[in-house]
Structure 1
């Protein structure tokens, strides 16, 4: 359902054509979903010599991969010491090494493949507005410095200089991070995956997924069928009735975003060095500059599709809280998309039936995480060796009382927003 007013992301689409084709007969891998995860896996699988067919329900970039804020953040929601306590010494350190390099993978791919993707790698700031948030930033800084990461703890003067924003007491700077044009990245991934030999069709939802002997028979709305030795269900926040238990294992939220008109030169003090920012509020906001000088800011929105531009009003209030001087700058773009979270805030790898694979749960790290997962998932498809995966394959478990989660989340968002307002 589309709202009765313009809703479109600010991101530019590349002009390079993408060759679409459908592979009749049997293939080694069927990928359902042409986002970062699906296309990265398709690219690496095709380059390993596997036959691959990607099937996308909508247009390239219509899901989370094309409508996110374009922040490329290494690491995971949890810090290294927590990961070791959860996974043990060996598996925890393997996951930390993987997570530490996710931004390297993205920027390395852009450079190596000469992708038509605007990008800046100046770092990411996690901004602290309270003493408790600043203490947490200090813990994150300590743990990643122990891993040899290029990070720093910012004081109040330093964060004010880098962001130009009001109200922060300090923060955590991760110089490994940066920003990209997210829509351009997913389009360019589609282009190089098809050039590597992967088949791709769009705007044709998968409607059936049936185990057929040692393979999977995949059918689409248009009547196409393909058999795959393996299937990667790369649908994440857009998982639905095809595998209900996957959808029931995830909590999805709407992320709303706004973009200003290009800012006049007098506002060049805002993110002057090009960093991206997320704050440490309970209902966080995140923001960055675009190549043409706009400020893009995003955060949680209603659990329903927007009904009017008022559904973005909380973001405009956050923008003016941080940058009161922008109160007269018009908003040029408003858009939204769906993101998936897991109950433990960790990414999950599942194989509920032989040959049926999925990776889900991004927690704000989707670009680096899902692009980076493509190569090990492709290696697993090729070899069957779970040792190539950075995460253990875990059982697929639905969240109890999942149908009521949206009601509970909406109540939590309202309460947390109230608490954040008190702390401002």
Structure 2
């Protein structure tokens, strides 16, 4: 994307074309202006337009340019935080409310895909959170205990059951979550954009917002060549925020994450490696993830940036690790490589912000963007439509706050991942 093959890799290569858009030119009016063309912005626009609102969406680059078009493609339920810990962090009301909303969020994603006929390689076979060693097994056992107590369709698999589903004996067990699944993330974003446009949302790409101005009860949102007057502004830029809402990016620590996609595997390998096409990630601190696309490419990723020395270090690690997990795969070649940035908040939970009167947004998805972004977009629409009061939102109102030593932490994550991957699977 934007002539950078390492920005979106396989997803750009295999996604359907986005709907036709253009940059904003001149002045226009709307009920709501949405800033950001990822899952949150597109979902909120779609739900607002279906309810009859006039919506203009402004995207600085292209649809799905940020995390929406670069991620692994796991439709996860919940967040990284253990379910029982959420009420302690957010309080019993918001904690239980967020658990319920995000636990059921994959259902909304799959329903929208079905309703709008979005071609995005949807797989509904669940995900596997795989235990590395005894400590990892304790973690997935505890997650199983907490989610199953809440009635979630999860199962605890032993080592043999896990090996049969994945095709490797590397894991001590796993948590199978049947609420979850996988998809082609950029294709999903483009499909949401197409559905939103058909519902009446006016989409403008290559239109970064440079300023806003309050004029009476209305907002004027300005780009380099145009402006939109609206009653409401939805800020849906998250970790890639710049301009007037750069504080959204500043309250998050960037964690780089890369993916490599193999050439399509042969039919025999595809029968033994992830034959049911679950999405997989492990319990390591520097985690790994992998899943299969519909053409049989194995998409394998971890923490790190594919730039400078990181490219050779992480590529070498990925090849060694795949060969260790799946010896039968041999010296497999990679067809695509790409990376992006995950925005991590200080408590690994998302945020709800009100930047000014009628200027609102959710952010801080901590690597869980697909389902939360989609359901938070619908939530913003319901709030603006008057169907959900602020007191009934799934998160309390907070002010953006920059974490201490943010820049140093980001340098440490990128450098530390290189050191770890240089050594791992080598010695």
Please, what TM-score do these two structures have when normalized by structure 2?
0.91
Deviations 1:321-380 (A, max 9, x none): 222222322111111122211111001111132122121112232101101111111111
Select 1:329's aligned residue among 332, 340, 358.
332
Select 2:410's aligned residue among 394, 402, 406.
406
1:390 — aligned with what?
394
Query: For 1:184-333, what aligned pairs fall within 5 Å after superposition?
Result: 184-221=187-224, 223-267=225-269, 268-302=271-305, 308=311, 310-333=313-336
Q: After TM superposition, give the deviation of residue 283 of structure 1 in Å.
A: 0.7
More moved, 321-330 vs 99-108: 321-330
**SS of alignment partner, residue 120 of structure 1:** coil
CA distance in 1, matches of 2:93, 2:336: 46
2:9 — aligned with what?
9
Q: Does 1:78 align with 2:91?
A: no
User: 1:387/1:5 Cα in 2 relative to 1: closer, same or farther (>3 Å)?
Assistant: closer
Cα pair 2:45 2:55 within 8 Å, conserved:
yes
Structure 1 segments unaligned to the other structure (5+ residues): none
Cα pair 2:124 2:180 within 8 Å, conserved:
yes
Deviations 1:251-304 (A, max 9, x none): 122221111111012212000111110001011111101101110011111385
User: 1:405/1:215 Cα in 2 relative to 1: closer, same or farther (>3 Å)?
Assistant: farther
CA distance in 2, matches of 1:152, 1:35: 32
2:39 — aligned with what?
36
Cα pair 1:380 1:386 within 8 Å, conserved:
yes
Query: For 1:48-87, what aligned pairs fall within 5 Å after superposition?
Result: 48-87=51-90
Q: Does 1:144 align with 2:147?
A: yes
CA distance in 2, matches of 1:201, 1:165: 46
CA distance in 1, matches of 2:211, 2:165: 51
Deviations 1:151-180 (A, max 9, x none): 011111111111112321111111111111
Q: After TM superposition, give the deviation of residue 105 of structure 1 in Å.
A: 0.7
**SS of alignment partner, residue 87 of structure 2:** helix
More moved, 262-271 vs 411-420: 411-420
Q: Does 1:101 align with 2:104?
A: yes
**SS of alignment partner, residue 342 of structure 2:** strand
User: 1:105/1:306 Cα in 2 relative to 1: closer, same or farther (>3 Å)?
Assistant: farther
- Structure 1 residue ranges, 4+ long, deviating more than 6 angstroms after superposition: 1-7, 418-422
User: 1:151/1:295 Cα in 2 relative to 1: closer, same or farther (>3 Å)?
Assistant: same
Structure 2 segments unaligned to the other structure (5+ residues): none
Q: After TM superposition, give the deviation of residue 18 of structure 1 in Å.
A: 4.0
2:179 — aligned with what?
176
More moved, 327-336 vs 408-417: 408-417
Cα pair 2:253 2:344 within 8 Å, conserved:
yes
CA distance in 1, matches of 2:348, 2:164: 32
CA distance in 2, matches of 1:235, 1:228: 18
Cα pair 2:170 2:325 within 8 Å, conserved:
yes
User: 1:172/1:4 Cα in 2 relative to 1: closer, same or farther (>3 Å)?
Assistant: closer
CA distance in 2, matches of 1:377, 1:50: 13
RMSD: 2.6
User: 1:306/1:195 Cα in 2 relative to 1: closer, same or farther (>3 Å)?
Assistant: farther
Cα pair 2:353 2:400 within 8 Å, conserved:
yes
More moved, 6-15 vs 28-37: 6-15
User: 1:344/1:307 Cα in 2 relative to 1: closer, same or farther (>3 Å)?
Assistant: closer
Please, what TM-score do these two structures have when normalized by structure 1?
0.92
Deviations 1:189-217 (A, max 9, x none): 00111111111111122222333333322
